[in-house]
Structure 1
């Protein structure tokens, strides 16, 4: 088994496993398993990364669970309308930073 194969297996069997790190949330009307990491979000905000400065939530998910996501996109996250601030793809795992789109 190659290193990439082992990473792909770990991503599903460990990282996004609901019994270990993952939580089920409703994203764009579909239940997917994500890992919320607001500590990482605070760290990014402390470094003045403008893309995530106003973000309120940062989560990781498998790319196949959220195949079309890009900065500036509006998505539904747990029945709230949110704006995608930043997206990064790292070997099939997405890091997504959101802020709630509150209408006035």
Structure 2
């Protein structure tokens, strides 16, 4: 295996393992293993210089395997997490994961 394959394997086996770091949550219409990171969200909010980037409004930041999404979620799109509707304010991707920041929708 090459380095990328080892990283992908570690991602699946360690980080997105409910017995290690991951937690099962209802995302959209499926139960998937994600990692919620409140500390990273706090850090990003403190370090942003653009008040219009949406991260100021974010209430939830999580990591998910890209393979758990049929297509890339879109910024300003909507996503239900554990039955609560959110607006996607930021999304980053790497070879195996998405980092998604969400803001609660207001009625």
TM-score normalised per structure 2: 0.91
Pair 1:64-2:67 in alignment: yes
Partner of 1:41: 41
5+ long unaligned stretches in structure 2:
none
Q: How many equivalent residue pairs? A: 103
Instruction: Give the superposition deviation at 1:67.
Output: 3.5
State the shift of 1:92 in Å.
1.5
- Give SS of 2:54's match: helix
Aligned-pair CA distance for 1:51: 3.0
Q: Tell me which residue corresponds to 1:55.
A: 58
d(CA) in 2 for partners of 1:73 and 1:10? 30
**Aligned with 1:53: secondary structure?**
helix
| TM norm structure 1 | 0.94
Greater than 3 Å deviation, 4+ residue runs: none
* Partner residue in 1 for 2:97: 93
Mapped to 2, the partners of 1:59 and 1:44 lie a distance apart of 13
The alignment partner of 1:19 has SS state of coil
Q: Which runs of 5+ in 1 are unaligned?
A: none
Aligned to 2:31: 31
Deviates more, 1:66-75 or 1:7-16: 66-75
Q: Partner residue of 1:78?
A: 82
